[in-house]
Amino acid sequence: MSQALSTALSSPSNRHRVQFHDQLTEDGGEQSLLEALTVGLTDSPRWISPKHFYDHRGSELFDRICQQPEYYPTRTEESILEQSVEAIAERVGGDIDLIELGSGASHKIRLLLDALRPHHYVGVDISRDFLLESTRRLADDYPWLAVHALCADFTAPFTLPGLEGDARPVVFFPGSSIGNFTPREAGELLTRVHDQLPPGGGLLIGVDRIKDRDRLEAAYNDAAGVTREFNLNLIHRLRDELGAGVSPEDFEHLAFYNEAASRIEMHLISQRDQSFSLDDQIITLAAGEHIHTENSWKYSREGFEKLAGHAGFTLRDHWCDDAQLFDVHYFERPA
């Protein structure tokens, strides 16, 4: 594995070993947070990449978002996976390794493991501690499975760990995380995944569909305020990790559907005139000024299949819920 630090980790409760591969060094991670936030906050209009939501606290908050009644994507995708698991296993076939992009709490993979019976599981996530905790739990619960944790930013090129044997790799990319990339970046990411797979390698991917504004906006404005707290986590990170003189009370959460662009937009709005320093720069925000923090693109079934087709994939199968809120597609790199 090039440049990757590979360490075997085990705990007394974890008879099975998690192979940990770090492609995001401590220094590199922190430096890039400072650089990335400085670049976005000095730009016009101001922005922060959504990948910076996911420190340990942000990952926990995201996990709680997934449990909110308004946030239909998680439970809808889970119900599709549960109901169609046998059909998925039949279509995907045996003798595989599973690689999950953005594995987070590794909940959804549990719906597939018994049916798919992969030789190896590789969880790929940017949040190191969260990744380790969830893959350790997975290794404890599935003693027959060889578990790897790859701490990497999959928005940039990364190297998959070498796995023993010659099982066919299948990438699992659930949760419509592909929607957090611009359609152009999504196409580039799909092309990178395609190019890294051998012929016959698979991609099982969950994608949120275009739907009515009310349902979409409710999902990003849950009544319990968890999405608001998740958005404000960026201000916590600015203050706690980068020493910026900011306070979460001075920002408000905004999420709305931009129908022309088929995307949910999230912003943080400055509640007063304020300035703070970051990396020797003074950032000055006027009351009412926005920081754009996330886009979540929604796709028609055909629109997404076209995007994956341009990346070189061939559609093998598709599953969705009765209300057609969410799609799970299975593509393969043609032989």
Q: Report the interface residues with ligand AVI, using CB under 6 A.
A: 65, 73, 175-177, 179-180, 220, 227, 230, 294, 296
| Closest residue to ligand AVI, based on beta-carbon distance | 296
Amino acid symbol at 267: H
Q: In terms of CB distance, is 19 or 176 closer to ligand AVI?
A: 176
CB 216, min distance to ligand AVI, A: 10
Q: Minimum distance from CB of 288 to ligand AVI (Å)?
A: 22
Whole-number minimum distance, CB 231 to ligand AVI, in Å?
Answer: 7
Give the CA distances from residue 231 to residues 175, 215, 234, 251, 327, in Å, rounded to whole numbers and listed in that order: 18, 19, 6, 10, 26
User: Under a CB-based contact definition with an 8 Å cutoff, are residues 258 and 265 in contact?
Assistant: yes
CB of 70 to ligand AVI, least distance (A): 10
Write down the residue that tokens 């009351």 correspond to: 287
Residues forming a β-bridge with 297: 263
Nearer to ligand AVI, 64 or 316 (CB): 64
Round to whole Å and give the CA distance between 204 and 283: 42
Residue among 222 and 305 whose Cβ is closer to ligand AVI: 222
Contact 160, 99 (CB under 8 A): yes
Query: With respect to ligand AVI, which residue has the nearer C-beta, 17 or 290?
Result: 290
CB of 212 to ligand AVI, least distance (A): 16
Q: Which is nearer to ligand AVI, 18 or 255 (CB)?
A: 255
Q: What share of the chain is helix, strand, coil (3-state, %, to 5)?
A: 40, 30, 35
